[in-house]
Structure formats: structure tokens, C-alpha cells
Structure 1
Amino acid sequence: MNLFEKHGIEPFAIEHATVATGDEDGRTLADTTIIVDDRGIITAIAASNETQVPEGYHKLNATGKVVSPGLINGHVHTFGDGKPLKSSSTSPEGQARLVKMMHTAPGRLMTYANSRKNVMTLLNSGVTTFRSVGDIGYELVKMRDEVNEGKLVAPRIIPAGPMMSITGGHGAPLVAIESDDPEQSQAAVEKNLDNGVGAIKIASTGGVTDSQVLGEAGTPQMTIDQMRVICEAAHANDLIVAAHAQSREGVYRALKAGVDTIEHGCELDDELTDLYLHNPNSLRGWSALEPTLSAGLPMELLPQNELGLTDIQMSNSHDVVKGMVDGARQAHEAGIKVGVGTDTAMPYVPQYDTWMEMHLMVHFAGFTPAQAFHAGTQVTAEILNVSDVTGSIEVGKSADLLVLAEDPVKNLRTLSHPLFISAAGHPVFHPNVDHFTDMDAELDKVYEA
């Protein structure tokens, strides 16, 4: 199937499958048939010996195989592939050069083509829904519209466009719009809304990969008042707001402002825990955490020369990564909703490794495999406000499905090689991605130790 041409959906049925529901208890359904109509909607789920597949439906025999919900990744960047960063892309001078080039006609074409390639990698790795949280421009808004119009087979895309940052702050100027007071922040968020984004991202604190001074990662950058203006504008349009935050003060400010998801996070205390669980300024009265362990742990476990980070960036990573890991474990224990987001495009975070975040949640944050898989499907769907259409295998929901060799609750690694993918009912036969074998080997070595 050519993924770049418009196609209708051929109705189909997956027969004789074991269904991994994605429930927190790891429940499965034996010898089950799932029927999908020509809209890409699941119309029936029943025991195979009790199900009559309508005439004209394509039949897929899944005997001995497992069907699961498609994966959901809540923290994606499509400007890179996850190889080590180059200094030219992390310094202010290098970013300024890139910005100038990216906003030329050839630069915009290159940005779109690169993003599209990375989105196809996400799809072929089993991701059927993702949220972007810091784009060079509005390339993913365009791609989302192409998906919705039936011009492109790809995951469901929730695009944030450029993030909101202070002048010279995290992500600026390459993937951020800069503002320094509430009035400027109002104008910045309205620009994104006018361009049709589906989510908003704020840089509450400094980050690691573009830091230039010691202590910059986690240092608060945006005020509560600035962030509240942004949250109110987004919530008025029923959009959720993410905040990059890597310190106690940065997380506190973002939660008080009303953000809906904290990206990365910090060690928790009683006040922060209560704000997550009961946040009156958020869209739904609660906030969630996406710890992005996939992005943090390589900076703790791999040699600096392999990551492509400066001495300052490595030092800053040590200041925040422990808090990310501790915060993930504490949030899970406290009943805070913890979602799967990998921070794709960061060093050693390839687009195809969404499954790895679940693996790390088990080994570093106290999740059972069933709870981690639940997080990567049903919980992240709820966090991203799309659980009415995806995240679980239910009649009336979108046919976002994977066919796997094993039950992922028994072996999460089986998610790294899906045998078949249905994205809103569009089939991807024989999915395949190009792996970075040296990087994969390094990650396996440190995570399995």
C-alpha cells in the first residue's frame, strides 16, 4: 500500500486473535474477532465462533497472534531522528542560522519532508496517535489536515506548533515563539491558535539540550501570569496545555497557571501532589505527568561523547534527571495520571522507540508491565483528551490496532516489531523501520544491566 496516496478503507475483520485490552490488570480476550467498517470504525468484538463476518470484508487470520490498541506518544518532536545532537543545533548562534534557513521556501519544504519521514517512522513502529510539543513551524498542522482529509495515512496528530518561551528561553528561537509579559504571551498563543494548532506547549523552565550556563536546566523562565494567560486562551478553545518543567518551582508555577500536563517533572511533595490531583485552573480539574524517561536516562547512563552534549549540558542533566525518575515513581504511587511520552528527536530517543518508555517505567518507576502498557494506550489517550475515539479496543472507536507476535504484558519488547498496523482503519502491511543498530545496542546494554 502506498502511504502517500489517497485511499478508501476496505472493511476488514481480524479473526481468531487474542486481544490484549490494555486494561491495568492485563486482561486478554481469547479467540476473538474484531470487525472494522469502511469508515475505519470498530463495529463488533466477539468470540470468533459467534461472529459472522459480513460479505465483502477482507479477512485476516490472527491465530496465534495478539491484537492490541495502537500506541500513543504524548511527547514528540519531528525535527530530528534521535541521533546525537550537533553543537551547531544547540548553540544560540547555530539556532539563529537554522531559523533563518528554515524560514526560506526551501527550508520549509525540507522541514516538512523531514517531519513527514519521521511521522512515517512513528506509524510503522506502532504509534497511531501522537502529540507534538515543539515544532519549527506549522508543518504538523498541515500534516494533520492531510490525514483528516484522507490524503495521507499516518497517525492521528495533535500538533502544538512552536512552543511558548521567553526571549532566549528553552526552545528559542528554533522551535518557540518568544514573549516576555502577559500581553506578549497572549499574542503568541493567539498566533498558534490562528494557525490551527491542536495543543499548546509552554517552556516553564530552562532545559538541558540547549542550555548554555550551569544551572539553566530547571531554572524558572516564565511567570505564573504569563502561563495563565496562555492556559486560559487554550482552554477557551478546548485545547490542553503542556509545560516543559524540570524543577520544583517550575512545576509549581505551571500547575498553578493551569497546565494540563507536566513534561519531565521533578521530585514531588504533598503540595505538588495535591495540585496534580486537584487543579482548578486546568481544563479538566486535574493535571498529568509525562516523565519522558527515554530522554533523561541516556544522559545519566551513556558517555558524554556518545550523546553530543557539552560539559555544561551534561552537568545540567545531572541536576534534573534524578528528579524526573523520582517524580515518575512518586506520581505513580500517588495515583497521578502518568502518560507515555518519549521526547523523540532528543539524543538516543529515536522515533521508533515508544515501547522503550514503557520498559523504563517498569524498571525505574515501579510500574508493572500491565500498568505500563495501560499507560501507553488508555491512560495517555485520556491525558490527551482523545479517549472517546482511541486508546482502547471498543465498538464505536477508531480502529487503531496492532497485530503482535506476543502479549505485550508478558513481553513489552514485542511492541518494537508490530506485524500489522491499522491506523483509523487504514492498513499498514509488513511495517518496517530503519533502526540505528549501534544506538539500539548501547541502550539495550545500559537498560538491561
Structure 2
Amino acid sequence: MILFKNCAVLPELMDGFSEAKCDILTDGKRIKGIYKCGECPFDSETVIDEEGRFVLPGFIDMHVHLTLSGNDTRIDNEKSGVQRGYDALKYAQDALNAGFTVLRDVGATHNIAINLRNSINKEDFVGPTIYACGLILTPTEIGNDFLPGLYSEVDTPDEIIKAVRQEVAKGADYIKVMGSGSAQNPGGEPGKPIITLEDLKVMVEAAAFKDTYVAAHCHGATAIHNAILAGVHTIEHASYLTDESIELLKGNTDSYVIPTLLIVWKLTADVAESSAYMGEKAREMLNAVKTGIRKAYDAGLTLGFGTDTGIDPVHHGQNSEEFVLRRDFWGMKEIDILKQATINSAKIMGIDKDYGTLAVGKFADFVVLDRDPLKDIAAAHDGVVSVVKWGKVVR
């Protein structure tokens, strides 16, 4: 057992504990007890004094690509599957060192994210808990060949059902679909839908039959609206979110929005010359992103936390820049941003029994910060002192 004593905590991110400071006892992978300082009744082999530093639940990033580096995508495309596998392990560990103890990979080549998930779960490697979709399902569309090995093209209901079953059989935790054009794909138009409402319904039904859900890449307003009507569980990006769609999402426990500000922001300012077209698309989206997501926040929607890390030019380990951007760009409150990266994302992913808050019985995943993130949210970015994953100090 390990006792982490003198921990400053945020009661909003705790379950069943309302004090501002505590001692946390871990036993193996899970939290055995949370006590007022000095009142733990058990002897511990190891005692770590946090000396009043802030201890928060491990962060969750619901939108990463572990087989993309954040550099020129064409160079990534030339790598072998073996090299991309080695890289994915490093990228996952980079995120873990930044405090992200859970990642949701939203599309990887060579079944790498799924295999890496399995190896980490077996404790062959130290890394974050990974949830993965495998290949991204998409209709035949312009620009798909820009990301070879990432897509499974489906154009009929039968093809959709078969592809869903194939990805689940390969170990996918959920299904990812392209609902609108992509900023990354040459020729892709983010504002336009590329899959019909009827086909989305088929996919959602096929996924539900296999006890899982669909996540949809959706920039455009029509794509977002159709995803909600079809029962898509997570709407990724939601760049052109309308008032009508926000109304449909109020009180909706089937569909949730996962904003990804970091990639849009970075693309407007810092992109390789070969990806200049991506920057142009991002600049066109930026005002809509600012207005729509702020309205969703004001409406009280449960928002998840995503970054699109791995897409040029967002590097793994930079995920935490999203914290500061959400405050500065959208004017969100610090505690709400922290909830998005913990409680909200765990709830949306259906893993809140194990993750999302500090509570007895949950996994001992937490991040230690050098200062109060409610006073300065940048502490979640540049103030990480240590990271605990499954009860072990990994940074």
C-alpha cells in the first residue's frame, strides 16, 4: 500500500469527501481509502508527502490519433507498421507524462491502438488506459487516399453492418465514422455532410447490436444535426453547431459534443507548408467554433474533452494546452474545464465507475499539480509535478 498524504483536493472532483485536504491510500491499482489528514488507520509500506500540492483525477483526452505524430502527415504515411507501433507507445507515454491517464484513440492504422491497449492492460508496458475504434468508417470520398490504411470505405447498408462487425471482431471499443468532410483530407469540405441520415441510423443500430456506440467526425451543421437524429453517441469537433442542434442536445443522454479546440487553433497559426490548405479551412471555421461551442456551454450541455492530438501540428504531450485555450477562447470557468477532462468525459465514455473522480474503489489514477488550477488553469498544463497510474508513480 502507498499513502499519499497532505493532498490538496478539489471537492467538486471527489466522491464522498468534502474536505479541502486529505490523505489518499492506494492498494494495488485502486484507491483503498480517503481520510482526513493524519487519520488513516492503516500502516503503509510507502508514504509520499505531497506537502499541500493539488491532487486531481487523471485527465481524459477523448480525441487522439496515436499513429500520427503531429508532424507532416505524408512522412507518417511512409512509416512501416512496426515503426508506427513503436511511435504510438512513445506518444501514449508522452500523454501520460502530461497527466492524461485515459486516452480514446479515434482512428489508427494497422490495428495499432487496439494492440497497444491490450499490451498496456496486460502491463507489458506502462501507459495510459486506451479505448480505441480501429479503422474509421467512411463513404468513398475525395481525399481518403491521403491517409492510407486509416479508413474502411462503406457505401451500402450491408457494407456498413459488415464493417461494424469486422471492427468489433478486431477488438474495437466503439465505432468511428466520418460524418462530414475533413480539414485534413485534400479536397474535403468540412461544412458538407458525406453520409446520409439513413446510413448513420444503420450504423448506430449495428453498433448497438454489438453493445457499443458510434462516434462521428462532424464539422458541418447538417452532419451534426443528422448525427443527433441518428443517435450517434459522440459528435466530434461540432465546429458549426447551430441553435437548433443545441436545443436537440439539451437533456439528451444519447448524444454528446466533444469539442477539439487545440487542433483548430494550432492550424490557424502553425502548420507545415505542405498542410497550408488545412490552415485555410481552420481559419474559415474558427468564428463558428467560438460561437457554437460557447452557446453549448451557456446552455449547460455536458461537454467532453478532446484535442485531436497527432494531427499536424499538435504533438502528443501537448494535450494539456487545451485547458488554457478553453478558458481564454471560450471564457469557460476553470472548474468546468477540469470537469470536462475528468467527470464529464468518464460519464460520456461510460467508465465513470472506475475513472473521473477521486473515490474509494476507483482506479488510483491521479495527477499532482504545483498550484491551484482554479486560480490558474495553466497549472494543468505546465504545473504537473507527478502522475500516478493504477497506483504506481509513473512520473
Q: Indicate whether the TM-score tops 0.5.
A: yes
The TM-score, its normalising length taken from structure 1, stands at 0.81
Distance in 2 (CA, whole Å) between partners of 1:22 and 1:153 is: 29
> 1:257: which partner in 2?
230
The aligned amino acid for 1:269 is: T
The runs of 5 or more residues in structure 1 that have no matched partner are 1-10, 90-94, 280-284, 432-449
- Select the residue among 154, 157, 171 that pairs with 1:179: 154
Q: TM-score, normalised by structure 2?
A: 0.92
Deviation at 1:171, TM superposition (A): 5.2
**Amino acid in structure 2 at the alignment position of 1:419:** V
Q: Is the 8 A contact 2:238 2:259 kept in 1?
A: yes
In structure 1, the partner of 2:82 is: 109
Change (3 A) 1:57 1:161: same
Structure 2 residue matching 1:201: 3-state secondary structure: strand
- Counterparts in 2 of 1:226-245, with a 5 A limit? 226-245=199-218
Matches within 5 A, 1:16-415: 16-23=6-13, 29-38=19-28, 40-52=29-41, 54-83=42-71, 85-86=72-73, 88=74, 98=77, 107-168=80-141, 173-212=148-187, 216-277=189-250, 279=252, 285-300=253-268, 302=269, 306-310=271-275, 312-415=277-380
C-alpha distance in 1, partners of 2:203/2:361?
Answer: 34
Partner of 1:251: helix, strand, or coil?
helix
- Aligned-residue offset at 1:132: 0.5
CA RMSD of aligned residues (A): 2.2
Change (3 A) 1:414 1:190: same
Indicate the residue corresponding to 2:387 in structure 1. 421
- Letter paired with 2:59: L
Query: In the aligned structure 1, how far is the partner of 2:352 from the partner of 2:339?
Result: 13
Contact 1:22 1:377 in 2 (8 A): no
Contact 1:266 1:326 in 2 (8 A): no
Looking at structure 1, the residues matched to 216 and 12 of structure 2 have their Cα atoms a distance apart, in angstroms, of: 27
**Contact residue 125 and residue 353 of structure 1 kept, 8 A:** yes
Contact 2:261 2:307 (8 Å CA) reproduced: yes
Alpha-carbon deviations, 1:16-44, whole Å to 9, x = none? 111134549xx974331000112x11111
AA partner of residue 185 (structure 2) = D
* Cα offset, 1:313, TM superposition: 3.3
Equivalent residues of 1:212, 1:312 under 8 A apart: no
> Does structure 2 retain, via aligned residues, the 8 Å contact 1:299–1:307?
no
Q: CA deviation at 1:252?
A: 1.1
Whole-angstrom distance in 2 between the partners of 1:177 and 1:16: 51
For the residues of structure 1 that align with 2:156 and 2:180, how far apart are their CA atoms? 15
Q: SS of the residue aligned with 2:302? A: coil
Q: Distance in 2 between the 1:265 and 1:170 partners?
A: 20
* 1:75–1:343 contact (8 Å) kept in structure 2: yes
Query: 2-side partners of 1:421 and 1:35: how far apart?
Result: 15
Unaligned runs of 5+ in 2: none
